[in-house]
A and B are shown apart, each in its own frame.
Chain A
Amino acid sequence: MCTPKLISRQTFLKASLALAATPLLRYVPAHAAAADVSEVAPGVFVHQGRYEVQSPENRGDMANASFVVGSEGVAVIDTSGSAVMGRELRDAIRAVTNKPIKYVINTHMHPDHVFGNAAFVQDNPTFVGHYKLARALGTRSQGYITANKQMLGEATFKGSEIILPTLSIKEPTTLDLGDRTLLLEPQPTAHTDNDLIVTDSKTNTLFLGDLLFSVHVPTIDGSIKGWLALLDEMGKRKAARVVPGHGPQTMELPEALEPEQRYLATIAADVRRQIAEGKTLAEATKTAGFSEKDAWKLFDQYHVRNVTAAFAELEWE
Chain B
Amino acid sequence: MPHTFISLAKACGLAALAASLLVLGLPDARAEENVWPILKEQAFGDRPIQEEDGMVVLETPSKVEDAAIVPLTVRVPPSVKGELKSLTLFIDKNPDPKVATLTFGPAAGTSGERSFSTRVRVDNFSHVRAILETADGSLHMTTKFLAAAGGCAAMQAKDPDADSADMGKVIVRTFPPALDSNPIWAAQVMIKHPNHNGMQLDINTAKFIPARFVKEMTVKRDGELVFQLDGTFSISTNPNFRFTFSRGEENDLDVVIVDTDGTVFEGQTHPKGS
| Residues in A lying within 8 Å of B, measured CB to CB | 53-54, 110-111, 121, 124-127, 132, 134-135, 137-144, 146-148, 150-151, 161-164, 166, 189, 192-193, 220-223, 226, 278, 280-282, 285, 301-302, 304-305, 308-309, 312-313, 315-316
Contacts and interface: CB of A to CB of B under 8 A. Distances in A.
19 contacts: A121-B3, A125-B1, A132-B161, A135-B204, A138-B203, A141-B8, A146-B11, A147-B14, A147-B17, A151-B24, A162-B5, A163-B3, A164-B4, A164-B6, A221-B158, A222-B159, A301-B20, A308-B66, A316-B166
B43 interface: no
A127 B14 CA distance: 26
Contacts of B59: 282
Contacts of A111: 17
B171 interface: yes
A49 B11 CA distance: 30
A138 B24 contact: no
Given A146-B13, A189-B162, A280-B117, A138 B202 contact: yes
Contact of B3 (A53, A110, A164, A282): A164
A188 B190 CA distance: 25
Nearest to B71: A282
Given A146-B13, A308-B66, A309-B66, A164 B1 contact: no
Interface string B142-177: 000000001001110011111000100101000100
Contact of B171 (A150, A226, A302, A316): A316
B8 A142 contact: yes
Interface of B, helix, strand, loop or mixed by DSSP: loop
Sort A-B residue pairs by CB-CB distance and give the 7 closest, nearest first.
Answer: A138-B203, A143-B15, A147-B18, A139-B155, A305-B65, A282-B71, A304-B65
Nearest to B209: A139
B201 interface: yes
Given A124-B1, A143-B150, A146-B13, 4 more contacts: A144-B17, A147-B18, A278-B186, A304-B63
B21 interface: yes
A312 B195 CA distance: 15
A140 B20 contact: no
Contacts of A54: 21
Given A223-B159, A308-B65, A278 B175 contact: yes
A305 B151 CA distance: 13
A303 to B, nearest CB: 9
Interface of B: 1-6, 8, 10-21, 24, 26, 59, 61, 63, 65-66, 69, 71, 73, 117, 119, 150, 153-155, 158-162, 166, 169, 171, 175, 186, 190, 192, 200-204, 238, 240, 242
Nearest to B199: A142
B8 to A, nearest CB: 4
Given A282-B61, A309-B66, A137 B6 contact: yes
Contact of B71 (A137, A189, A280): A280
B17 A221 contact: yes
A309 B158 contact: yes
Contact of A147 (B15, B160, B190): B15
Given A143-B150, A150-B18, A312-B69, A166 B3 contact: yes
A139 B3 contact: no
Contacts of A220: 158
Contacts of B186: 278
Nearest to B161: A193
Nearest to B63: A304
A135 B202 CA distance: 7
Most A Cβ at <10 Å: residue of B73, B159, B242: B159
A63 to B, nearest CB: 13
B1 A144 contact: no
A49 to B, nearest CB: 16
Nearest to A109: B17
A137 B6 CA distance: 9
Nearest to A192: B158
Most A Cβ at <10 Å: residue of B5, B26, B158: B158
Contacts of B240: 281, 312, 315
A91 B238 CA distance: 46
A284 to B, nearest CB: 10
A162 B150 contact: no
B18 A127 contact: no
Contacts of B158: 189, 192-193, 220-223, 309, 313
